[in-house]
Amino acid sequence: MWSIIRDQFKGHVGVNGVEIPHSQIGDRVGVDRRVVDATCAVIRDDALLRGIFENIHAIHFLRDIAPSLGLGVIVVKPEDAQRTGLLGEVAMKVAEFGISIRQAVSDDPYLVDEPLLTIIVEGLVSGELVEELVRIPGVKGVTIY
């Protein structure tokens, strides 16, 4: 019985349970709805792609609302986003200042042209912490807000 219901939803696109019309996706990325239809068909018919797209999830990224919540934002631009340990080193430095991390989001260097590490912290970020973060090997730049 469930397979009959599941088959009714083939080709539909949704994010966290909310369906998004193909025409809206096409408008957003600058293509005709039929391109989105065809892309969905390819994904639906390929087991690997279907498994990826059925299991990817959107997250609640606090970056843009953090200041309204009284939280600080640290954005780290790496010299090489594939370098190991950068997130750990930044987190350790933040912890040394007694600051709690609420969220850490690291862009995937395979999916984003200029990946960033975004850390959401309790309270405001001091200039002293920024100076320490810039000294971490592999850090190209730090922005706070």
- Tens-digit pLDDT profile for residues 72-131: 999 999 999 988 999 999 999 999 999 999 999 999 999 999 999 999 999 999 999 999
Same domain? For 114 and 73 the reply is yes
Residue at 131 is within a domain: yes
pTM for this structure?
Answer: 0.79
User: What distance in Å separates the CA atoms of residue 2 and residue 97, rounded to the nearest whole number?
Assistant: 53
**Which token pair is 128?**
């002293």
Same domain? For 50 and 91 the reply is no
| SS3 category, 139 | strand
Structural domain harbouring 90: 67-144
Residue 36's CB: how many other CB atoms inside 10 A?
22
Number of domains in the chain: 2
What CATH number did the domain enclosing 102 receive? 3.30.70.260
CB 78 within 8 A of CB 138: yes
Question: Which is more confident, 1 or 68?
Answer: 68
- The pairing of beta strand 13-15 with beta strand 18-20: antiparallel
**Which token pair is 70?**
């009284």
Same domain? For 111 and 51 the reply is no
Same domain? For 51 and 71 the reply is no
Same domain? For 90 and 40 the reply is no
Same domain? For 77 and 48 the reply is no
Same domain? For 81 and 111 the reply is yes
Residue at 114 is within a domain: yes
Residue at 62 is within a domain: no
Residue at 34 is within a domain: yes
Question: Which is more confident, 118 or 16?
Answer: 118
Same domain? For 87 and 110 the reply is yes
* Max CA distance (Å), the chain: 61
Torsion from C-alpha of 33, 36, 37, 39, nearest 10 degrees: 160
Residue at 61 is within a domain: no
String of DSSP letters for 37-76: HHHHHHHHH-HHHHHHHHH-------TTTTGGGTEEEEEE
CB 136 within 8 A of CB 78: no
Last residue of a domain, one of 55, 75, 97: 55
Say what the pLDDT of residue 2 is: 42
Last residue of a domain, one of 55, 75, 98: 55
Which pLDDT tens digit goes with each residue over 22-47? Answer: 999 999 999 999 999 999 999 999 99
**Which token pair is 20?**
């998004």
